[in-house]
Structure 1
Amino acid sequence: MSSQDIPEENVPAERASDDHAGHGHGPVALADEQNPFADPGLPPHEHRIQDIDERAARRSERLVALLFVLSMVATVGFIASYVAIPNDKSVYIFPLGHISALNFALGMCLGVALFSIGAGAVHWARTLMSDVEIADERHPIEAAPEVKAKVLADFKDGARESALGRRKLIRNTMFGALALFPLSGVMLLRDLGPLPGTKLRHTLWSKGKLLVNMNTNEPLRPSDVAVGSLTFVKPEGLEEHDEDFQKEIAKAALMIIRLQPEDIKDKQELEWSYQGIVAYSKICTHVGCPISLYEQQTHHALCPCHQSTFDLSDGARVIFGPAGHALPQLQIGVNAEGYLEALSDFKEPVGPAFWERG
C-alpha cells in the first residue's frame, strides 16, 4: 500500500507531519544534461500496517514481549540445567550421537536466550519504531551550538518515537530479559572448579601415621635423620601408583630437618619436635611450589619458584619473598616400635592462602 492510498485521517499525526516536512531533506536537484548524476531524493514514504492499524501494532507488541519472556524462561532453564543435570549424564541426539546432556542443555538454553533477545529487538525496530527516512547534510566535526541542540532534540524525538514509555509491556519484559540473562555468566563461574568444602583444611596425616621416606619408601627412625639433613617424607599408606597420589601428595608432602634442640627458637616448634627433628609442610605458602632448597648453616628453606625464604629454626616464619605466612608444622613423636609418627593432622591449611582461610 503506498502513502497516496492512505486516507489522511488514518495516518498518525507524527507520521503525517514527517511526510509533509519532506523527510528532512532540502529541495531535490533534478537531473539534466549538465548534471546527469543529481541526487534523485528519497522515494515516497510507505506506511507499515502497524502505523495505520493499532490492532496490528498490538500484535507486534505482544510478539516482541513473547520473545523477551522466552529469553527469560531460557535463562532460568540454563540455571536449572546447570544445577540439576549431572556432569556424566549423556543423551543421544541425531545425528550427533551420544553427547553430554549438560552441555547440550546449556547450549540450547543459552542460544534461545540470546536469539530471543535479538529477535525481539529486531522485530520491535522493524514494526513499531519510526521508519521514516531522513537525509541529513554532513557537517564539520566540531558542532555548532544549534547543531548540538538539534541532536538533543532528535534524541528526544527518537525516544518518543520508540514508544518505550507508551509500550510498557515491551519495556518491562525487555528489562526483565536483560536483567536475567547475565545470570548465565555468573553461573559459569561455578565451573572454575568444584567447591572444596573442607578438603583444603585436611590432609592424609592423622594420629599414628608413620613418616615414610620418599626415596626408600621405608618408615623412618630418629636415628635415620642426621643433624643438618633434609628428608622428604609422605604419609604411611600413600603409594605412587594410587589414582589420587598427585592430589594427596600435593597437600601432604612433608620435609623433616634435624636441628640441635638449643638452636630452635620457637617454643611451639620445640614442643612439636622430637629430639630436634622438626616436620614442616613442603608446600610453599605463596603459590604452592614444592620447597626443595635448604641452607644447613642458616636453617633457611628456599622456594625455587619465587625465592620465598623460611627460617626453620624459628617456626618456619617468612624472612624474605612474597609468601604470605609461615609453613605449617606437623606435630611428630615416636611410636612403641621406635618409628617417627604424626600425632595429628596439620593444625592449619597447607599451601597458599584462600578466601575462607581463618
Structure 2
Amino acid sequence: MEKAENPFADPGLPPHEHRIQDIDERAAKRSERTVALLFVVSMLATVGFIAAYVAIPVDKVVYIWPIGLTSALNFSLGLTLGVALFCIGAGAVHWARTLMSDEEVADERHPIEAEPEVKTKVLADFADGAKESGFGRRKLIRNTMFGALALVPLSGVVLLRDLGPLPENKLRTTGWKRGIRLVNQSTNLPLRPEDIAVGSLTFAKPEGLEEDDHDFNNKIAKDALMLVRLQPQDIKDKRELEWSHEGIVAFSKICTHVGCPVSLYEQQTHHVLCPCHQSTFDLADGARVIFGPAGHALPQLNITVKDGFLEAASGFEEPVGPSFWERG
C-alpha cells in the first residue's frame, strides 16, 4: 500500500524574479530621483510649517471645503507637517521596494543564544545588505534623506516659541506712563485721594483700558495696580515715601513668583499675601518679600495728583510680574 502524500508539504520559496531596477541602471536612477524628490518635498514642507507658524495670525479663519470654516494656522500646520512626515515614509518605502535587495532567504531557526559563527554571519549579512541597498553608493538618496530627517524635528523646536514671549520689550512695558489717571477697577471712575481710606485696599487700572477691549486680558495682566493708604510715618522705605501721595502707595498687583493676582491685605502689619503660593510682601517697606517663593519685591508706581485726581508720574521702572531670563 502506497503512503499518502503530505497535503501540507512545504512548497519552498518561489523563484526570485529580478525587478527592472535590478537589470536596468536607468530605471534604478529614475527610482533614485523619485526617492530624492520625496525627501526634498519633505524638507520644503518642513520649511512651510515654520513659515506658516510665524506668518499666519492665530485668529485668522478660512473656508476649506469640505471642512468649512477652520483656523488657517491649524490647517496649515497640519497640512505641512503631514506632507513632511508622509514624504519621508513614502521615500523610505519606495527606496526599499525598488532599490534595496528583495530576494527572500530561508534560514533555519536557531537557539536564542547565537554561536560565534552565527554572529559572524549576521554581521556579514548586515554588511552585504548595506552594500546592496546602495546606501554608500547612492549619495543623492543618502544626502536628501539626511536632510529630510534633520529638518523635520525643527517643527517641534519652533513650537517651543509658545513657552514664553519672544525677547522683545513686551514684559518691560505696561500701559502706565506719565499723565495716565488711575481708574477704580470696580467703579470705572477716576480715583481721587479722598476715595482711598487709611487701611483700605483699592484696585486700579490705567485710564482708557476697557473690559470690552479685545486684548483687555493681556493688558490687565501687566497693568493691574493696587493702592493702599498708610500713615506716612509708617512708611520705612525712603523711595516709597517719595513716590507716594499723602501715604497712598501704588504697587503692581501681579505677584513676582508666577504672576498670580495679589489680593489679601492685612491692615495691622501692612502685609499683602498672594493666595497662590503664599508669597508675602511688606507694603510699608518697599513691598519687599518677607515670606514665600517670590524672587523680588513688587514694582512700585510713582504717583501724583493733578486736577484733584491721582495719576502716574511715570511708568514702572522695572518689569512687573515674575522674573524672566533677560531681566537685569
Tell me if both proteins adopt one fold, taking TM over 0.5 as the criterion: yes
Name the counterpart of 1:357. Answer: 327
233-242 or 282-291, larger mean C-alpha shift:
233-242
One-letter code of the match for 2:170? K
Name the counterpart of 2:97. Answer: 126
Mark the CA change 1:263 to 1:92 in structure 2 (over 3 Å): closer, same or farther. closer
Question: In 1, distance between residues paired with 2:282 and 2:201?
Answer: 14
Name the counterpart of 2:219. Answer: 248
Question: In 2, distance between residues paired with 1:101 and 1:309?
Answer: 45
How far did 1:121 drift?
1.0
Name the counterpart of 2:277. Answer: 306
2:167–2:326 CA contact under 8 A, matched in 1: no
Q: Per-residue displacement from partner, 1:266-315 (whole Å, max 9, x unpaired)?
A: 22212212232211111111222111111122221111111111111221
Instruction: Give 1:317's match in structure 2, choosing from 266, 288, 292.
Output: 288
SS in 2 for 1:125: helix
Mark the CA change 1:81 to 1:305 in structure 2 (over 3 Å): closer, same or farther. closer
SS in 2 for 1:113: helix
Using the aligned pairs only, state the percent identity.
Answer: 79
Name the counterpart of 1:155. Answer: 126
Instruction: Give 1:280's match in structure 2, choosing from 251, 260, 265.
Output: 251
Question: In 2, distance between residues paired with 1:142 and 1:113?
Answer: 41
Mark the CA change 1:179 to 1:34 in structure 2 (over 3 Å): closer, same or farther. same
TM-score for the superposition, normalised by structure 2: 0.85
Mark the CA change 1:237 to 1:58 in structure 2 (over 3 Å): closer, same or farther. closer
Name the counterpart of 1:346. Answer: 316
SS in 2 for 1:41: coil
Mark the CA change 1:346 to 1:176 in structure 2 (over 3 Å): closer, same or farther. same
Q: Rg larger in 1 or in 2?
A: 1
TM-score for the superposition, normalised by structure 1: 0.79
Q: Per-residue displacement from partner, 1:237-258 (whole Å, max 9, x unpaired)?
A: 3344444433332221111122
Question: In 1, distance between residues paired with 2:223 and 2:145?
Answer: 53
Instruction: List runs of 5+ in structure 1 lacking aligned partners.
Output: 1-31
Name the counterpart of 1:179. Answer: 150
2:199–2:229 CA contact under 8 A, matched in 1: yes
Question: In 1, distance between residues paired with 2:195 and 2:316?
Answer: 23
Mark the CA change 1:212 to 1:82 in structure 2 (over 3 Å): closer, same or farther. closer
Question: In 1, distance between residues paired with 2:114 and 2:288?
Answer: 65
345-354 or 149-158, larger mean C-alpha shift:
149-158
Name the counterpart of 2:203. Answer: 232
Question: In 1, distance between residues paired with 2:74 and 2:188?
Answer: 44
How far did 1:109 drift?
3.4
Matched, 1:327 2:298: yes
Question: In 2, distance between residues paired with 1:326 and 1:54?
Answer: 74
Question: In 1, distance between residues paired with 2:262 and 2:48?
Answer: 47
Q: Per-residue displacement from partner, 1:11-38 (whole Å, max 9, x unpaired)?
A: xxxxxxxxxxxxxxxxxxxxx7596645
Name the counterpart of 1:198. Answer: 169
90-99 or 54-63, larger mean C-alpha shift:
90-99
Instruction: Give the alignment's Cα RMSD to 1 decimal.
Output: 2.9
Instruction: List runs of 5+ in structure 2 lacking aligned partners.
Output: none
Question: In 1, distance between residues paired with 2:62 and 2:226?
Answer: 48
Question: In 2, distance between residues paired with 1:223 and 1:241?
Answer: 28
One-letter code of the match for 1:357? R
2:227–2:250 CA contact under 8 A, matched in 1: yes
Question: In 2, distance between residues paired with 1:329 and 1:177?
Answer: 52
SS in 2 for 1:199: coil
One-letter code of the match for 2:313? L
Q: Per-residue displacement from partner, 1:161-211 (whole Å, max 9, x unpaired)?
A: 211011112111211222233333334445668758433222222222222
Instruction: Give 1:295's match in structure 2, choosing from 257, 261, 266.
Output: 266
Name the counterpart of 2:108. Answer: 137
How far did 1:43 drift?
2.6
Q: Per-residue displacement from partner, 1:96-147 (whole Å, max 9, x unpaired)?
A: 5565555555444333332222222111111111112123333444444444
One-letter code of the match for 2:265? Y
Question: In 2, distance between residues paired with 1:102 and 1:244?
Answer: 20
